[in-house]
Structure formats: C-alpha cells, structure tokens
Structure 1
Amino acid sequence: MSQIRRRVAGAKPYRNYTADTLRAAMAALDTEMSLRESEVNCKVPRATLNRKKTNEKELNKVGRPKVFNDALKEEFVQSIITAAAWGYPLTGLDLSLLVKSYLDRLGLNETRFKGNLPGRDWLKGFLQRHKSTLSVRFSENITPKSRCYPRDIKKILSRIKNYLGGC
C-alpha cells in the first residue's frame, strides 16, 4: 500500500489563496478595513493577515521535518555516482543499506524507518527528487567478452588507491 498522502476533503486548508489575493487583502487593511472584513472579502485567513500586518516571522513549514538535510542527501547522491563510476552501481537495496549503516554509525534511531532501514516509499521518493542526476537501469548480462581479467582488476584497484590518496 502506497503512503503517498492526499488531501482529505474537509481537512483544514493551508494557503488556499494566491499571492495576489494576499496583496489585495493587505491593501484593503491599509484602507481602514478591519481584519474580519478583509478576511470575508478576500478569503484569506484572519490569522495570516494579522501576522503579515504585525511583521511576525514566518511560521515553520506544515508537517513533519525531513529525515535528512539537503547537504546530506547530496552526499548520498555523490556516493552513488562515485560507486557507479568505479563500476559498482548500487541497487535500491544497496542504497537503503547505505542509509541504514549511516544512521547506525551515528547512533540515530529514525522512527519512520522500520529497524532504521528505509522502505520502498522513501527510496521511490528519493529517486524521484533526484531524477536529474540518478536513474534506475537494468543491469547488463555478463558475457564471456565482459569477464574481468587481472589487468582490469589492477586498473580498478589503482583508481581506488588514487582516490584514497595513495594509502
């Protein structure tokens, strides 16, 4: 069962107004109209008008905070790209295990993941958000021509050694 959330009919509406409507409501407040009248005429919530009128800071985003920040997600993307460049593309399970090992290493327990292992929905959303840099492909069949020879293995190991700084 998918966990894509859809808006429920009759649920509390959030931002059911446009920026132009908000500007019109704020202009109406400047012409000595009350908050209540401006709310009724422009269909913008009174609390929003009051907050904008008194220059209060914007509220936090509605909903649960993200699991990872944008910088960390970018590190995951770069790790996936690097592994693919080395000739070891990651599968969805590999990516989930990478995230799990990261969380376990930091000693974090993410309650949204069962056993700290992200599910299919998180993986699908992650790939959807990064579809400009990541793609899902079928693996190629291994034929006798594409076998690894010792010279190929030495080449791969020298690349890894250069990447790690000649350890």
Structure 2
Amino acid sequence: MGRTYKRQLVSRTYGNFNEEQVNQALHDVLKNGLSLRKAAKKFKLSYGTLNNKYHGRKIKKIGGQSVFTFKEEVAIINSILKCADWGYPLSAMDLRIFVKRFLALNQQDRGRFSK
C-alpha cells in the first residue's frame, strides 16, 4: 500500500488560495483602505500573490510553462495521430523535425529549434 503524501511544513505553498479570499482581500484594500500587507495577513494569503492581483499582473500556472498554446498542441497531436493511422510511426528525431517544420510553416520562432 502506498504512502499518503503529506506536505512538509517548510515547503512553499504554491497556489494555496482561492479566488474568493483574494477578492475579499482586494475589496478590503480598495474600499476600506486596508494595506496590502494587513489584508494578506488577515485573509492568510501571500503578500506577493495579493500584490500581483492588485496590480493586475498575470499569475502563471504552477509548474513548467508550456511552449505551445493549447490550439497548437491539439494541431500537433492530431497530425501525429493521423501519421499513426497511416501506419507511419514517428521516432523522437522525426517528431522534433515535424515540430520544427510546424513552427516554420506558421512563421514562428520559439528559440528551441533555432539554428
């Protein structure tokens, strides 16, 4: 039987908030004149998270950021599945060349496949 994961006390709390708490904290800051630090402490939020939301900065997803957009990923996956239906399996190198060609046809440069 596997262990149940328990977060360590010293670990960082990535994304450990809900939008309702953040909205209430921002409401207190904007309407009641509460400072960001006091609002963060009152609602048990990270000051950095509250500050980013207050200034309208985009908070990225937790973990590694994807290189492609969702639509691009779906297009690449559909093309790979089409090759599989035709009976043409792609090796790792074929896949890399395929993705590089996909970016070239869409006139995009992502840096990973540059010369």
After TM superposition, the score normalised by the length of structure 2 is 0.58
Q: Say what the alpha-carbon RMSD is for the aligned residues.
A: 3.4
Query: Partner letter of residue 37 of structure 1?
Result: K
Say if 2:19 is the partner of 1:11: no
For the 8 Å contact 1:80–1:89, the answer to whether it is kept is: no
Q: After superposition, give the CA deviation of every residue in 1:97-123 in whole Å (9 maximum; x if it has no partner).
A: 4313335767827xxxxxxxxxxxxxx
Q: Cα offset for 1:17?
A: 0.9
For the 8 Å contact 2:17–2:45, the answer to whether it is kept is: yes
Query: Superposed, which structure 2 residues align to 1:9-48 within 5 Å?
Result: 9=8, 10-29=10-29, 30-48=31-49
Greater Rg over alpha carbons, structure? 1
Distance 1:57 1:96, change over 3 A: same
After TM superposition, the score normalised by the length of structure 1 is 0.44
User: 1:52 maps to what in 2?
Assistant: 53
Distance 1:74 1:43, change over 3 A: same
Distance 1:95 1:16, change over 3 A: same
For the 8 Å contact 1:25–1:42, the answer to whether it is kept is: yes
Say if 2:104 is the partner of 1:99: no
Gaps spanning 5+ residues in structure 1: where?
1-5, 110-167
**SS state at 1:17 partner:** coil
Structure 2: distance between partners of 1:60 and 1:24: 21
Q: Cα offset for 1:70?
A: 3.2
Q: Cα offset for 1:18?
A: 0.5
For the 8 Å contact 1:25–1:39, the answer to whether it is kept is: yes
Gaps spanning 5+ residues in structure 2: where?
105-111
